[in-house]
Amino acid sequence: MTAVIWLGVALIGGVGAVTRFLVDRAVSKRKSSSFPYGTFVVNLSGAWLLGFFGGLALSPNVALLAGTAFVGAYTTFSTWMLETQRLGEERQVWFALANIVASVVLGLAAAALGLWMGGLL
């Protein structure tokens, strides 16, 4: 792995993290609720995007930059789990369960859709 790839991972990862922040903020601003819609939208769109990149059959270096750097920094498993834990602590059990089930089921569907769409190109 070259220094250019390392630099690319750092820069593109930074762009992914900032994009996550902006998308989460924009969604959360529009939808005020105990349910963490911002993280939900980020993770579903990230699942679709990673599937799409997988369907494109990118070269290893491009896949590393697009998938690991951008999508890896864009999506957030830890925030998803923390928000689910918070919902449980606040006794919003239905929101917590919905967050888990909907994220997994719709995330898999989004990844499959992205893979299919990427494979069409």
Q: Give 67's contacts (C-beta < 8 A, 6+ positions apart).
A: 50, 53, 54, 58
* 84 marked among binding-site residues: no
* 19 marked among binding-site residues: no
Give the C-alpha distances (Å, rounded to integers) separating 107 from 7, 59, 90: 29, 24, 25
- What distance in Å separates the CA atoms of residue 44 and residue 120, rounded to the nearest whole number? 20
Annotated binding site for Na(+): 72, 75
Known binding positions: 72, 75
